[in-house]
Structure 1
Amino acid sequence: MVKNKFGDFVNQKVLPPIMKFVNTKPITALKDGMVYALPFIIIGSIFLILSNIPITSVANALKASGWSAVFSQAYTASFGLISVWASIGIAYVYVRNEGYEPLPAGLTSLSAFLILQFLQVDNPLIATMGKSGSGIANAAGSTVMSGSQVAQHIDKLPHALQTFLSAPVTNTINITWLGGQGMIAAIIIGILVGWSYTKMLKAGWKITLPEQVPANVANQFTAMIPAGVILTVSMLLYAFFKMVMSTDLLQLIYKLLQTPLQGLSDSLGGALIIAFLVPFFWFFGVHGGLIMGAITSGLLIPNTFDNASLYHAGKLSLANGAHIVTNEFYNNFINLTGSGITIGLVIFTLYAARSAQMKSLGKIELVPALFNINEPFLFGLPLVMNPFLAIPFFLTPVIVALTTYLVIYFGIVPPLNGVAAPWTTPPIISGFLIGGWKMAIWQAIVLVMSTAIYFPFAKKYDNYLLAQEQAKVAKETK
C-alpha cells in the first residue's frame, strides 16, 4: 500500500512537471540540436587519438613527419568547433519544429554567435615570455629560446614597438570560444535565435514575394527581416559589453554561468545525483537516459572538450584542470551495459537462473547488453516498477559513479581523455578508448561489481518467478 501510494505520488506529482520541462520547445531544440554535433565529435575523437597515439616511438615519428600536426588540424576543425555545431543545430531544430525553413535560422544563430565575441586572439608572444612562458620551439618541438630570453630581447626594443608586438591580433576568430568554452553561450544564443526568429515570422515580419519566384529564393527573403533584426540586436549588445564593460557576452557567460555549472556537474555530488536519477526515472517507466541526457549534455560535453584539449596538449591531469565527470563518464560508466548497469543481471540469467522467464530474457538481452542497450530487461523482465530489483537497479549506478570518481580523484586511473566513444561501444573497448588500459581494466571491475550487487536480488526474484511457473504448471495438470 505504501509502495503504491509512493508510486502514485511520483507518477502524478513528480514526473508530470519534469516531463513538461523536458518537452518544452527550448529543451527539445537543445536535445535534438546537439545530435548534429555528434558526427563531428566522434570523427574528431579519431583524429585526437591519431594525433596523440600513446606509443612513444609512433608518436615521435608522427610528430617528426608532420602528420601529428595534420591530425591536429582535422581535430580542431571538427571536434574543436563543437560550439559552432551547437549554435547552428539548436536554432535549426527550434525553427524546424515550428514549421518554418530552418537553415537560415541556423546560419543566423552562427552569425550572432560570432558577432557577440571579440574577433581577436592574444598575441602569441605573451605566452612565450617570462619565467613561466613556454619559450620558442622549432618544428621538432625543441625549445630554442626560453621565456626569459624572449622577454630580455623584447625589453630591448622601443616601447612603441613592444606595445605593438604584444597587442592582441585582431580580425581573426578565437577558436577557444568555438570549442567547449563557448558551449553555454552557444546554447543560449541558439535557443534565443530560434525563439525570436519564429516569433517574428508568426507576427508576419517577413518579405512576401510573388508566387512566381522560386521557393529557394523566396525563403531567403522571408528570412531577411528576422535575421536582420537578430543581427542588429547582436551588434548593439556587442557594442554595449565592449564599450561599457570592456568584455564580450561570451566571456561574461563563461565566467558567470558555465564555470560554476561545470564545477557543479563535475562534483561528486553531481555525479551521484545523475547516477541515481537515470534509473529512478526508468523505474517509473520514463526514459531516464533521455531526460538526464537532455539536462546534462550542455555541461558534460564541455567537460569532455576540456579534457580533450588537455590530452591534445599532453597535459591531461587533474592538477592541470582536467574534469572527472564528463559525457563519457555518463555514457560509459553510469549507463554501462544500459541504464542501471544491468550486466550483472544478464550474467545471472545465463548461469544461475532457474525460471523460464529469466532464462529466456537473458538470452535475448545478452547481445544488446554488449552494446549498452537493455530495453528487453526494462520492459520484459521487467525492471520497471519491480520491487524485487529496485535496490540493485538504483544502487549499482550510484556505487559505480562513486568508485569511478574516487579512483580518478586519487590517481589510480587517469582522467578520461576526452575521446568520445559512441555510447553503443562495448564495455572494456570503450574503456580503452576513453582512458587507456587502466580504464579498460576498471570497466571490467565495474562489470564484476554489477554482478555481485544484482546476484542476491536476482536470485530472490528468480525463486519468485519459478514458484509462479510451478504453480501454473500444477494448476494446468489438475
Structure 2
Amino acid sequence: MENTKKSGFGEFVNNKLMPPIMKFVNTKAIKALQDGMIYSLPFIIIGSVFLILSNIPIPSVAAWLTATGWSAFFTQAYTATFGVLSIWAVVGMAYVYVRNEGYEALPAGLTSLATFFLIQMMNIDNPIKGLMSSGVTNSAGKMVLTGKAVTANIDKLPHALQGVMTAPVTGVFNITWLGGQGMVGAIIVGLLVGWSYSAMIRKGWKITLPEQVPASVAKQFTAMIPAGIIITVAMFIFAIFSHFNTDLLQYVYNLLELPMQGLSDSLGGAIVIGFAVSFFWFFGVHGGLIVGTIAGVFLMPNTAANAALYHAGKLSLANGAHIVTNEFYNNFINLTGSGITIGLVIFALFAAKSAQVKTLGKIELVPAIFNINEPFLFGLPLVMNPLLAIPFFLTPVVIAISTYLVIYFGIVPPLNGVAAPWTTPAVVSGFLIGGWKMAIWQACTLLISTGIYFPFAKKYDALLLKQENAKEAAKAADGETVDAQ
C-alpha cells in the first residue's frame, strides 16, 4: 500500500505537476531570460573583483589606495561592469529572443538598449542638494561644513542662482537605473522588444534592398522598420509618464520590483527557494535551472543593492541591505550541490561499508568541492530515492533558515554583493561574499549537512550492504553448484 501511494504521488508529480512547469520553463520568454542573463555573468564577476579591491577591509591599505587614487580607478571599473548590470540584461535578453527565432539578433539587442535608455529620465539630483543634508567633508572624512551651514549659505544667494544650483543635472544617465534597481524594467523591455521585433520581421515589415547591395548593409535596413516602430512607441510611453513627472523604470520599480524584492528577501522566501531546488531534483528535473531562472529575477537586484551599499561603506540591515541575495542562493542553498550533499560525501568517505556508496563517495569528492553533485543525484541515487528524501529536502531548508537568522540577528554581516562564481569552493566563497565571519558560518553549514545526512545515509548504506552480501552469497552458491556438477 505504501509503495502504491509513493508511486501514485510520483505519477502525479511527473504527469500532472511537471508538464505545466516544464512548459513554462521552456517558453520563449523564459529561455530568453535565462540565456540572456548569462551574458551579464562575466561583467558581474569582473566587477566583483574590482568591488573587493575598492573596499579592502584593512584600514591602512584602504587609506593608501584612496590617497594614491587607485580606489577611484577600481570604482570606475566596478561601475562600468557590475554597476550597469541592467544594460547587459536588456541587450542579452532581446538578442537571445530574436536569435532563437532565427533572425539577425544584434540589431534587436541594440534596439532594446536604445529603448531602455529612452524610457528613463536622463537626469540626476544636483549634488548640492545632497550636501544640504549630508554636509561637506574633506579627503580624510572630517566634517568641514554641516548640511545646515551649506543650506544657510545657499539661502543668501539670489533666488535665480539658488534655482540653478539645486536644479537636476540633465543630459546624463542615472547609474541607479542602469544597475540593480532597473533590472525588472530591463527584463520587461528586453522581452517585449525581442517579441515585437521578431513578430514584425516574421510578418515581413522590413526594407528589402536589391541583391547588389552588400549583405552587411542590407541587414541594417532590414532592422530599420521594426526598430523605428519600437523606438517611436517607447517615445510616446516616455512622454506619457513625463506628464506625471516620472518615468517607466521608476514606475516599474515601485510597482513590481520593490514588492518582489520584499517577497524574496524574507524567511518564507528563503524556505521556499531552499525546498524547491531539492523538490524538483528529486523527480529528476533540474531544480537549479528552474529555481535559479525564476528566483534570479528577484535575487539579482538584491545582490546589486547590497553591492552598492558595500561600495558606499553602508552595508547593514539598518541601511536597507538584503539578506536573501543571489549569493545566498548560490553559495548556501546550493553549497556543494543541490541538497547540500557534503554530508553524504563525508559519510561515504569515512563511514560507508557498502561498495556502492564508498565508490561513489570517491567519485563525488572532487566535484563536491566545486559544488557539483550529479554523481550522487543519479548514481547513488538521490533522484526518486525515498530513503534519502528527508535529508535531501530538509538540509537546504535548515541551512536557509539558519543562514537567514544569523544575518538577521547580526551574528554575521549581510552578504556584500560580491558575486563569487557558483563553482567557488565552500569557505573560500564565504570569505569572498561576506568576510571571515561568513567563511566560518559556511564551514558550520557543512557540519549541519553532515549531522542531518548521517543517520539516513547509515540506514541506506546498511540496506545496500545487505543487498551486496546477498548477491555475493548467491554467486558463491551458484559457483558451488557448478563445481558439484
- Interval containing the TM-score (normalised by the shorter chain): over 0.9
Amino acid in structure 2 at the alignment position of 1:210: P
* Structure 1: distance between partners of 2:205 and 2:140: 57
CA contact (8 A) 1:29 1:93 kept: yes
Alignment of 1:308-457 (within 5 A): 308-457=307-456
- Of 6, 10, 24, 1:3 maps to 6
Give the CA deviation at 1:191: 0.1
Q: Judge conservation of contact 1:64–1:140 (CA < 8 Å) in 2.
A: no
User: Which residue pairs with 1:153 in the alignment?
Assistant: 153
* Equivalent residue, structure 2, for 1:96: 99
The residue number in structure 2 matching 1:467 is: 466
The offset of 1:140, in angstroms, is 4.2
**Equivalent position of 2:61 in the other structure:** 58
Q: CA offsets per residue over residues 433-454 of structure 1, 9 Å max, x none?
A: 0000000000000000000000
CA distance in 1, matches of 2:174, 2:138: 24
Q: How does 1:61-72 map to 2 (within 5 A)?
A: 61-72=64-75
Three-state SS of the structure 2 residue aligned to 1:473 is: helix
Distance (whole Å) between structure 1 residues aligned to residue 461 and residue 329 of structure 2: 30
Match of 2:259 in 1: 260
What is the rounded CA distance, in whole Å, between the counterparts of 1:228 and 1:143 in structure 2? 51
Q: TM-score normalized by structure 2?
A: 0.97
Amino acid of the structure 2 residue aligned with 1:25: K
* Structure-2 separation of matches of 1:214 and 1:14: 51
- Give the distance between the partners of 1:163 and 1:355, measured in 2 at CA: 80
Q: Following the alignment from structure 1 to structure 2, what is the Cα–Cα distance between the partners of residues 111 and 379?
A: 46
**Match for 2:163: what amino acid?**
T
Equivalent residue, structure 1, for 2:482: none
Matched residue SS, 2:39 = helix
In 1, Cα distance between equivalents of 2:213 and 2:184: 39
Q: How far did residue 134 of structure 1 move?
A: 1.8
Matched residues in 2 for 1:4 and 1:305: separation?
A: 44
2:211 counterpart residue number: 211
- In structure 2, the partner of 1:14 is 17
Structure 2 residue aligned with 1:190 = 190
Superposition RMSD on alpha carbons, in Å?
A: 0.7
For residue 143 of structure 1, report the CA deviation from its aligned partner.
Answer: 3.0
Structure 2 CA distance for aligned equivalents of residues 267 and 76 of structure 1: 28
- Measured against aligned partners, the alpha-carbon deviations of 1:37-83 in whole angstroms (never above 9, x if no partner) come to 00000000000000000111111111111111110111001000100
> What residue in structure 1 maps to residue 169 of structure 2?
169
Structure 2 Cα separation of the partners of residues 124 and 49 of structure 1? 26
The amino acid of 1:236's aligned partner reads F
TM superposition shift of 1:229? 0.3
Measured in 1, the distance between the counterparts of 2:138 and 2:38 equals 40
* 2: CA distance, partners of 1:253 / 1:82: 17
Matched, 1:239 2:239: yes
3-state SS, counterpart of residue 274 of structure 1:
helix
CA distance in 2, matches of 1:250, 1:94: 21
**Match of 2:224?**
224
**1:345–1:451 CA contact under 8 A, matched in 2:** yes
Q: If the length of structure 1 is used for normalisation, what is the TM-score?
A: 0.98
Contact 1:63–1:140 (8 Å) recurs in 2? no
* 3-state DSSP of counterpart to 1:144: strand
Q: Which residue of 1 aligns with 2:90?
A: 87
Amino acid at match of 1:404: T
Distance, in Å, in 2 between the alignment partners of 1:104 and 1:143 is: 50
Deviations 1:229-278 (CA, angstroms, capped at 9, x unpaired): 000000000001111x2210000000000000000000100010000000
Structure 2 unmatched ranges of 5 or more: 478-485
- For residues 148 and 359 of structure 2, what CA distance do their matches in structure 1 show? 71
| Cα deviation, residue 165, structure 1 | 0.9
Instruction: Give the C-alpha shift of residue 429 in structure 1.
Output: 0.2
Deviation at 1:299, TM superposition (A): 1.0
Paired with 1:296 and 1:472, the residues of 2 have a C-alpha distance of: 46
Aligned residues: 474
Whether 2:138 is the aligned partner of 1:138: answer yes
The SS at the match of 2:218 is: helix
How far 1:138 sits from its partner (Å)?
3.2
In 2, Cα distance between equivalents of 1:147 and 1:44? 33
In the TM superposition, residue 212 of structure 1 has moved relative to its aligned partner by 2.3
Runs of 4+ in 1 over 6 A off after TM superposition: none
CA distance in 2, matches of 1:225, 1:141: 54
Q: Quick one: distance in 2 between partners of 1:205 and 1:347?
A: 61
Summarize deviations over 1:193-228 as a string: whole Å, max 9, x none. 000000000000001112222221111111000000
Q: Distance in 1 between matches of 2:129 and 2:296?
A: 34
How high is the sequence identity, in percent, across the aligned residues?
72
CA distance in 1, matches of 2:404, 2:246: 36
